[in-house]
Amino acid sequence: MSSLLTNSTAMTALQTLRSVSSQLATTQTRISTGQRVSTASDNAAYWSIATSMRADNAALSAVSDSLGLSAATVDTEYTALTSVVGDSTGGLTKLQSLLVEAKTAGIDRTKIQADVTQIQQQMQGTAAAATFNGVNWLSTTTATPATVDLVSSYSRVGSTPTTGSITLTTANYALYSSSTTGILDTVSGGASVNTIDISTLTDSAADQTTLDGYIAKVTSAINSVASAAANLGAVKNRISTNTDFVKSLMDSVTRGIGQLVDADMNQESTRLSALQVQQQLGVQALSIANSSSQSILSLFR
């Protein structure tokens, strides 16, 4: 039956064209965004997971930045400690050799003291200069915290986030402190490494004993500073390992997000071509269906 009021063929063609146009719009969106799930309406579950994982990745990125800052700080303190330990040309090692030299009978200890004083000032200057971003663990004040937490990791199980950290006790690295409890300014036996003065000592047995005490004090300081440097060296390695792991983990999370929401561009390009052809055919079919009503006019001629 032909009807002017109800053109079922045109209605079917229009419905098909609307469906094709909707699919074409979806495909074009996927191609332009590169994602098959870009909004919650595309796939609520996958979108929710991807959103949470992106937030985790942002937190991991912050951890990576924090590790970089921590690495720079630890490296600064480590470099200064290594310099204070010194070698045959300076630092505690040179100071020890000078004190041993001062044991020689008849030697001019005043001239040796001139070298000792320079080394003491150089070590104190090194400790004061070991500052990165306003942080100094070698020359501490009352404002220096007793412990420092270096953020090292982030994880989330369910809705519970956990942040890991490396805890350092600053007193273990302090060479000088405002309370004179550092490795080099702690007074024992009437002097500290920082205040050793041999200019007035003689060849007497008592003064030789004093020199032995100074040598023992410096030897102990070498061991303490070397131990502190070794500890920071281990922390450096841990930070380096954590940095590599966090970067690898971020890459893994990014790949996981991609597997959930990224579009297969090969598939979408094929679908686009097919839908464009279907759309053209749909327009043509609708045109044919609309023109069929024109044939009714010939019945009234």
pLDDT at 2 over 60: no
Task: Say what the pLDDT of residue 301 is.
Answer: 62
Task: Say what the pLDDT of residue 162 is.
Answer: 93
Task: Say what the pLDDT of residue 266 is.
Answer: 87
Task: Say what the pLDDT of residue 66 is.
Answer: 95
pLDDT at 180 over 70: yes
- Banded pLDDT at 91 (limits 50, 70, 90): very high
Contact 264, 27 (CB under 8 A): no
Cα–Cα distance, 135 to 169 (Å, whole number): 14
Model pTM? 0.80
Q: Quick one: average pLDDT of 277-288?
A: 83
pLDDT at 293 over 80: no
Task: Say what the pLDDT of residue 282 is.
Answer: 82
Task: Say what the pLDDT of residue 6 is.
Answer: 63
pLDDT at 242 over 80: yes
Question: What is the number of other CB atoms lying within 10 angstroms of the CB of residue 85?
Answer: 20
**What topology does CATH give the domain 63-246?**
f41 fragment of flagellin, N-terminal domain (1.20.1330)
Q: Quick one: average pLDDT of 278-301?
A: 75
Note the pLDDT tens digit of each residue in 17-76: 888 888 888 888 888 888 888 888 888 999 999 999 999 999 999 999 999 999 999 999
For the chain, the average pLDDT equals 90
Q: Which of 68-72, 99-103, 137-141, 287-291 has the lowest mean pLDDT?
A: 287-291
Cα–Cα distance, 108 to 118 (Å, whole number): 17
- Banded pLDDT at 288 (limits 50, 70, 90): confident
Q: CA distances (Å), 44 to each of 25, 157, 262, in order?
A: 19, 20, 15
Note the pLDDT tens digit of each residue in 134-172: 999 999 999 999 999 999 999 989 889 999 999 999 999
**Parallel, antiparallel, or unpaired: how do β-strands 160-169 and 147-157 relate?**
antiparallel
Task: Say what the pLDDT of residue 158 is.
Answer: 86
**Parallel, antiparallel, or unpaired: how do β-strands 176-177 and 139-140 relate?**
parallel
pLDDT at 1 over 60: no
**Among candidate residues 73, 175, 177, the one with its CA nearest the CA of residue 134:** 73
Question: What is the number of other CB atoms lying within 10 angstroms of the CB of residue 58?
Answer: 12
In order, the DSSP letters of the chain are: ---SS--HHHHHHHHHHHHHHHHHHHHHHHHHHSBS--STTT-HHHHHHHHHHHHHHHHHHHHHHHHHHHHHHHHHHHHHHHHHH-BTTBHHHHHHHHHHHTTSTT--HHHHHHHHHHHHHHHHHHHHH--BTTB-SSEE-TTS-SEEEEEEEEEEETTEEEEEEEEEEGGGT-SEETTS-STTT--BTTB-GGG---TT--SSHHHHHHHHHHHHHHHHHHHHHHHHHHHHHHHHHHHHHHHHHHHHHHHHHHHHHHHHHB--HHHHHHHHHHHHHHHHHHHHHHHHHHHGGGGGGGGG-
Q: Quick one: average pLDDT of 185-203?
A: 92
Identify the bridge partners of residue 279 per DSSP, sorted by sequence position: none
Task: Say what the pLDDT of residue 270 is.
Answer: 87
